[in-house]
Amino acid sequence: MSVRNALLGLLLQHPRHGYELRAAFEALVGGKQNWEVKPAQIYTTLARLEEAGLVVQQGVEQESGPAKRIYAVTPQGRAELDAWFETGVEGAHQRDELFVKLMVSLALGSDIPEVGPQQVIRAQRSRLYQELHGLTAQRNAADPKSELAQIFLLDKAIMHVEADLRWLELLEARLDDICDQPLPEPEVKPRGRPKKMID
């Protein structure tokens, strides 16, 4: 949703063709190391936006090479964008891959003793510190006079990784207690249609 709406916004700024749109998006987020979109994603998104009536083709640009289709936002697209700006973004923290990995490692227990939950935590910690190290270097290399928005994006990423590391710290400190608790079990329901109660 976010890429789609961001592209919509960039087209509202002024009509563009796909190639230019991709360049504009990547510039906005501070380079493709932060958020890369593949050309194919741009073109499928444009096709879907067009199908939904949110953008229309508005001529072609033909310099040399193949013709480039230029897209512009429709009034419907404009309304969609307004709605996006007016709605808060959901924090997506419940479906956590690490959490599920950890639960599976707990469930497997001694079936795979060499990669227990402790190992999962360590591998994750190492990975997160590596990320934090890279983000910190990027942040400190950014120029606050011209790249302030990118600095804030990097700050957000840094704070999130920091929070994840603190969470891992908690998890590690209580790991023995976690291992001592029974794993959540599914409620087993009988298969098929429920039998009719006969009274």
Partner 1 sequence: MSTVSTDNLTKIYGSGPTAVTALGHVSIDVQSGQFVAVMGPSGCGKSTLLHMLGGLDRPTEGTVSIGDIPIAEMPDNRLTELRRRKIGFVFQFYNLIPVMTAVENAALPITLDGVRPAEAQKKAAEWLARFGLADRLHSRPDQLSGGQQQRVAIARALVAEPSLILADEPTGNLDSRASDEIAGLLADVSKKYERTVIMVTHDPRIAAYADRIIFLKDGKVVDETVLDTSTTESAVMLAEKIQGMGD
Comparing CB distances to partner 1, the nearer of 61 and 162 is: 162
Comparing CB distances to partner 1, the nearer of 48 and 122 is: 122
Comparing CB distances to partner 1, the nearer of 6 and 157 is: 157
Query: Considering the complex, what minimum distance in angstroms separates the CB of residue 116 from partner 1?
Result: 14
Question: Using CB under 8 A as the criterion, which residues of the chain lie in contact with partner 1 when the complex forms?
Answer: 122, 125-126, 129-130, 132-138, 140, 158, 161-162, 165-166, 173
Query: Considering the complex, what minimum distance in angstroms separates the CB of residue 142 from partner 1?
Result: 13
Query: Considering the complex, what minimum distance in angstroms separates the CB of residue 176 from partner 1?
Result: 12
> Which residue in 124, 128, 131 sits closest to 175, CA to CA?
124
Q: Enter the DSSP assignment of 113.
A: G
Amino acid of residue 145: K
Alpha-carbon span 151 to 157, nearest angstrom: 10
| Cross-strand bridge partners of residue 56 | 72
Tell me the torsion sign for CA atoms 76, 80, 82, 83. positive
Comparing CB distances to partner 1, the nearer of 89 and 173 is: 173
Query: Considering the complex, what minimum distance in angstroms separates the CB of residue 140 from partner 1?
Result: 6
Query: Considering the complex, what minimum distance in angstroms separates the CB of residue 158 from partner 1?
Result: 7
Q: What tokens appear for 4 in the block?
A: 């789609």
Alpha-carbon span 48 to 122, nearest angstrom: 42
Comparing CB distances to partner 1, the nearer of 28 and 175 is: 175
Distances (CA, A) of 43 to 39, 56, 86: 6, 13, 27
